[in-house]
Amino acid sequence: MRKTVIRKICLIMVIMCAFAALAGCSYSGKTPAAEETGLFADDPNVSVTARGTVRVGCFRGEDYYYWNDELKAMGAEMYNMGLISNYQARNYDDMEETWAALCSSVSMKNQGRLKFIEDAFYTLDAMDETELDEMLKSSDIDLMLTFGTSCGKYLTEHADEISYDYMVYGATNTIATGIVKSETERFNDKSFSQLDPGETRRILEAAYDIYHFEDIGVVYQNDQDAFVYSGIDSLEAMSELYGFKIHRRYVNESSGPEDDERFYTELKAAYDELMPEIDTLFITVSTIEDDMLPSLIDDMIDNGIVTIAQDSSEQCKAGALMHVQVADSGEDGRFMAETIDKYCSGTPITKLDMIYVANPKLFLNYETIKRTGVKIPMRTYLIADTIFTAEDMQ
């Protein structure tokens, strides 16, 4: 009889524990982290509570290949980390395809579930005021992946109108452009931005180490945004340190295909004006199509002027003498995946580390080096990650 009573008591206790567990798991919204509630905030032995389902949207400025590469790399890394399954890591042509693949994935990790929302894919350049207002008021997402400076600035300026957090990637100098205050400070408690404070400086330092230029030319649009994108502040700081001169020309970038002819004509004229004054050209205008670059800089090359591409290794392959890559989409994607994992695990967005510096890579165009006639130290060839030759460019 006594054993029977004990068994009944144990059974009742098991049932009570089961109901308590179910009651504790019934909430499906965001679970506030210990740090957010202030409970045991200073106790290092207390782990951060996981969030519930994190619904993710995407906000981009335009269709840009680098952002798609970042998004693809993020998806592949999330799959490798076990954050998602059913994701096919393929070379998707555009962000819409990559986003569709992410939306088809299934979250696998217990401490926070990811759900990519198919309809929450926004393109700033294609939206009117009504559509932008609807996006700002959306209650269907918890986290907006934001690509590009213009989108990062837009959400920062309208932060008091949104209920979700946002992470800014693929943006230029987010401190100077007003997306975040500093490497550790935000303008609001909903924001995060990947930062590499010395990105342009590292490009120019590496180029100067290879070739000590004395007169460098630069062409950019005469406004504050272009000043920031082109890294002119870094160029000016280096000019004061090393004593070289900066020669400037201004041209309005192309507003679309119908404006390309005007843009390229004016850009070529600006390069021709600079040619007698400089020994180096820093190619900063981001809207130059790779196939148009040779016709713009051929005269520069034949006149012995060193050409440094700021934007991409493809510009180096197309004819620029060198490119120093200080941002890598694969490394960016891994950083994104790791950061989102921490966020889903309960780390407040204001506590996430924003600084990420990719390993630099040096690209050289050997055919251009020969045509330019510049002497490049042997050690430079030895440390170069890629040297384009005539065979590579065919």
Region 306-318: mean pLDDT is 91
Give pLDDT, residue 352. Answer: 93
- Average pLDDT over the chain, rounded to an integer: 84
Give pLDDT, residue 34. Answer: 35
Give pLDDT, residue 380. Answer: 92
Please state which of the ranges 54-58, 59-63, 255-259 shows the lowest mean pLDDT: 255-259
Six-digit token string for 368: 């251009």
Six-digit token string for 141: 């997402």
Give pLDDT, residue 233. Answer: 84
Query: Which percentage of the chain shows pLDDT scores above 90?
Result: 57
| Fold classified for 53-196+328-351 | Rossmann fold (3.40.50)
On the question of pLDDT at 53 being above 70, the answer is yes
Give pLDDT, residue 48. Answer: 47
Region 365-372: mean pLDDT is 96
Please state which of the ranges 29-33, 164-168, 331-335, 389-393 shows the lowest mean pLDDT: 29-33
Region 22-46: mean pLDDT is 39
Three state DSSP letters for the chain? CHHHHHHHHHHHHHHHHHHHHHHHCCCCCCCCCHHHHCCCCCCCCCCCCCCCEEEEEEEECCCCHHHHHHHHHHHHHHHHHCCEECCCCCCCCCHHHHHHHHHCCEECCCCCEEEEEEEEEEEHHHCCHHHHHHHHCCCCCCEEEEECHHHHHHHHHCHHHCCCEEEEECCCCCCCCCCECCCCCECCCCEEECECCCHHHHHHHHHHHHCCCCEEEEEECCCHHHHHHCCHHHHHHHHHHHCCEEEEEECCCCCCHHHHHHHHHHHHHHHHHHHHHCCEEEECCCCCCHHHHHHHHHHHHHCCCEEEECCCHHHHHHCCCEEEECCCHHHHHHHHHHHHHHHHCCCCHHHCCCECCCCCEEEEEHHHHHHHCCCCCHHHHHHCCEEECCCCCC
At residue 201 the predicted structure's pLDDT band, cuts being 50, 70 and 90, is confident
On the question of pLDDT at 175 being above 80, the answer is yes
> In this structure, how many other beta carbons lie within 10 angstroms of the beta carbon of residue 43?
9
On the question of pLDDT at 19 being above 70, the answer is no
Domain boundaries, the chain: 53-196+328-351, 199-325+360-388
Is there a shared CATH topology between the 53-196+328-351 domain and the 199-325+360-388 domain?
Answer: yes
CATH of 199-325+360-388, one of 3.30.460.20, 3.40.50.150, 3.10.20.30, 3.40.50.2300: 3.40.50.2300
